[in-house]
Amino acid sequence: MWRFCFVALLAVRLGAQRAPESCEQFEAATRGDSASAQAWYRLGRCAHRDYEMVAPNGDSTRLAFRSSWTTALRALRRAVSLDPRFAPAYRPLFAILFAETRDGCSFASGLCTHVAPNLRDGDTVITIPRRVVVGPDPYGAVVREADASRRTNLLEARDVAARWASVAPNDPAPHAYLGRALLRLGDPVGAADELERAAAMRTPNSRGEIFFDRFEALVKANRGADARRAIDEAASNPGRDSVHLSVRLVGFDMLVGRVRRLPPRPIDWARARLNRARIDSMPANRFGSDYPQELFGSARMHLAVHDTAGAEVQLAELERLVMKAPFQNNFAIASLGPWLGDAWLLAGDVAAARGRRAEADGMYRRLVGLWEGGDSDLQHLVRDAQAHFAVLR
């Protein structure tokens, strides 16, 4: 399934007759005024947005992007170094640093039939387009290839966001970007603090822009009460995306120890169609959407025949499906039920029996941190986890 280039589709709808021009005019502007943050921003934004491809020396089998993301990255860095409070330059800069892939699209069709992994070689961004392979996971191999450079980009994103926050402490945007970088770097505690700070500065309606990252950070930091509060804010916001969020809230509630369904709301079908297109354009969920409950059941069956190693394999796969994939695109979460607490407790017990005390400690702490204060009929699992944790200590 190909992604769509919304810029191209909008241009066609508005009657544009040709593809966007190259960024040469913006390069000339920076040569004329090299101290202008605005000029460097315009060059960087243009190079980042340019989805057009060219055939070097007329060879259509070796397509290349017309504009380099190296140019974009350096130009945007220059813009924020000249004016650290120049907010518009940060959006495309973080878009490059957070991107796993770069799409190559056709202005005529609006289809993005090519894709490139976002790779780094020192200070150079390498994006070599290849044709999208149509199949069940068309972007998976490209995303996995980009993993090699992901940490380099995220460390830079963290540092850029921290510098921005130091000069604009009352602006929620740098705190949100810093939280996202920390979350992807494996620091959910720091991420939750920054995203909560950003949420406190935003209006209830605008908090929806950071909901998924904020909720994921709170869950992975074992802050169940705060995660439930974030869910309730999102559910009660009349401006929320009812289609994209509603189907996930039941699973999200289960992650924090609640079993409930939201009251039915009328569906805005126009928004639903737009949302469907947006989901199609998101990076593929590389972990698939298997059935987590079946993995838990299989783990129990392995234990029943004294196959602890087999049970560990099933529990590890369950952990991978539910907790390792980004929550926003993780549709496995929608299938969660009250059995999840038993699964976490079992995983802790198996780890403790195997002598992996830190892993067991983490599972017990998760269950207590996320489910304590949840539904009353689930609190026996919290008490069991507390008792097992006391024995472990």
316-357 pLDDT, tens per residue?
Answer: 999 999 998 889 888 889 889 999 999 999 999 999 999 999
In this predicted structure, the answer to whether residue 166 has a pLDDT above a threshold of 90 is: yes
Stretch 89-103: mean pLDDT: 96
Rounded Cα distance, 288 and 299, in Å: 19
Contact (CB, 8 A) for 210 and 195 = yes
Rounded Cα distance, 117 and 127, in Å: 6
Its pTM stands at 0.85
Confidence at 278, pLDDT banded by 50, 70, 90: low
Rounded Cα distance, 37 and 317, in Å: 48
pLDDT, position 247: 67
Confidence at 285, pLDDT banded by 50, 70, 90: very low
Which one has a higher pLDDT value, 167 or 278?
Answer: 167
Contact (CB, 8 A) for 175 and 160 = no
Rounded Cα distance, 298 and 315, in Å: 9
Nearest to 212 by CA among 308, 301, 271, 278: 278
Contact (CB, 8 A) for 43 and 71 = yes
Stretch 213-241: mean pLDDT: 90
Amino acid of residue 150: R
pLDDT, position 6: 44
pLDDT, position 3: 55
Rounded Cα distance, 306 and 255, in Å: 29
Confidence at 239, pLDDT banded by 50, 70, 90: low
Dihedral, 14, 17, 20, 22 alpha carbons, nearest 10: -160
pLDDT, position 277: 55
